[in-house]
Each structure stands twice: as C-alpha cells, then as structure tokens.
Amino acid sequence: MLISPAWAQAAGGSQGGGIESMLLIVLMFVVLYFLMIRPQMKRAKEHKTMIDALQKGDEVITSGGVLGRLSKINENYVTLEIANGVEIHVQRPAVQTLLPKGTIKNID
C-alpha cells in the first residue's frame, strides 16, 4: 500500500475542557459588562437627569455644537436663543452639555 493508515489519537487527558471554556466565556462577559456596558448606562442616566432638570435661562451646548440660552421648554422640544431675536427649536435629548451660569456674556 502506498498510503499508511491513519490511527485516531487515544482519548485521554483533558475532560474538563467544557467547564473551563464556559467559565472563560462568563469571565469575558463580566469584564465586558464592567468596562463597557456599565459606564455607558451610567452616562445615559446622568444625561437623562440633566435633561429632566433643564430650566428656562440655562445656557447649553447641543450635540451639533450650537451654543445658546434656553428661552422656552416644552415636553419634547426646547427653544434656544442663539442671538438676539434668533431662536431655534431642538429636541430635548439634543442638549448635550449644561454650562455654568454666565458663560454666555452677550447674545448679539
């Protein structure tokens, strides 16, 4: 014969491979949760409380980078005064950052 027969390797050695690999997957998920998912949920919660606490006269920056003062607040929308006599309507979740009072000196 030109081809030698192939023999299967004898079973033995590691029998706990299933449990070890399952523990590795669970450990990877726990690390993923604490490094990525949990901080993102915390940031989302902080953003929601900031959005709920908006008041007329607050100075904000939107997610598009528009800087203005809140002139009207609705349930779903806010009106930003970006210059004297110039107002725009944006959705409440578009407000990204609440600035300290007095950051905007003059809107002209």
Per DSSP, helices labelled H in the chain are 17-32, 38-52
Residue 76 lies inside a defined structural domain of this protein: yes
Among 90, 102, 103, 104, which residue's Cα sits nearest to residue 51?
90
How many domains does the chain fold into?
A: 2
Residue 94 lies inside a defined structural domain of this protein: yes
- Give the CATH number, domain containing residue 81: 2.30.30
Chain segment 16-75, per-residue pLDDT in tens: 568 888 999 999 999 999 999 999 999 999 999 999 999 999 999 999 999 999 999 999
Shared domain check, 90 and 79: yes
Question: For residue 24, what pLDDT is reported?
Answer: 94
Q: Which residues constitute the domain of residue 32?
A: 16-53
